[in-house]
Chains A and B, each alone.
Chain A
Amino acid sequence: GIQVEQSPPDLILQEGANSTLRCNFSDSVNNLQWFHQNPWGQLINLFYIPSGTKQNGRLSATTVATERYSLLYISSSQTTDSGVYFCAVVFGGATNKLIFGTGTLLAVQP
């Protein structure tokens, strides 16, 4: 069936370290978004990236649609980066129904 898998499930970093989060999906996608859910529960849009590479400050993302995966890079991590990172996709067809992965829980320690 349709699947969105994220790895690793949990990650603990020291402040200043870099990390790579991965999202694998089981079919071609029309839409792929990365979100950060902060400790207060707010979902923050990071990237809309069904293909290609984008960068925003210390964060960047790459989606290789033909190989069905996306990567989120966090460089020089800060304690405010802590929270859960979700990948969500829309599979092919005339819909915009997001399917979420189970997330990566990131804890950045000072």
Chain B
Amino acid sequence: NAGVTQTPKFQVLKTGQSMTLQCAQDMNHNSMYWYRQDPGMGLRLIYYSASEGTTDKGEVPNGYNVSRLNKREFSLRLESAAPSQTSVYFCASSEWTGFAGKEETQYFGPGTRLLVL
């Protein structure tokens, strides 16, 4: 049981290049999330997927697209990378069902460190 896995661990891009960050979870969770963490700050939500086939914007969605490929996998794409997207990207998943009162802990992957030159 690997939990949440992310690939790649590190990536260096030039401005204008594109790339896709991959995330997979093996906990049969309904919901998946992408966050970014900038130096000295907490995490901010980019996009999330409450269930297979649905995606929604978070706090900082500009410059990103996502795909919920199936229940296990949720990818984040940068179409034209910019230096402002240099950050550490975390994927998370949870069993969230939308019903209040249920314990809905989010579990995080190890992160992808992205540098855009």
Contacts and interface: CB of A to CB of B under 8 A. Distances in A.
Contact of A96 (B35, B42, B44, B104): B104
Q: How large is the interface on A (under 10, 10 to 19, 20 to 34, 35 or more residues)?
A: 20 to 34
Contact of B100 (A30, A98, A102): A30
Q: How large is the interface on B (under 10, 10 to 19, 20 to 34, 35 or more residues)?
A: 20 to 34
B103 A101 contact: no
Contact of B42 (A31, A88, A97): A88
B110 A41 contact: yes
Contact of B43 (A45, A48, A100): A100
Which 7 A/B pairs are nearest by Cβ-Cβ distance? A100-B42, A96-B96, A43-B108, A48-B105, A100-B43, A102-B42, A97-B45
15 contacts: A41-B110, A41-B113, A43-B111, A45-B105, A45-B107, A48-B104, A86-B43, A88-B43, A94-B98, A97-B48, A98-B43, A98-B106, A100-B42, A102-B42, A103-B42
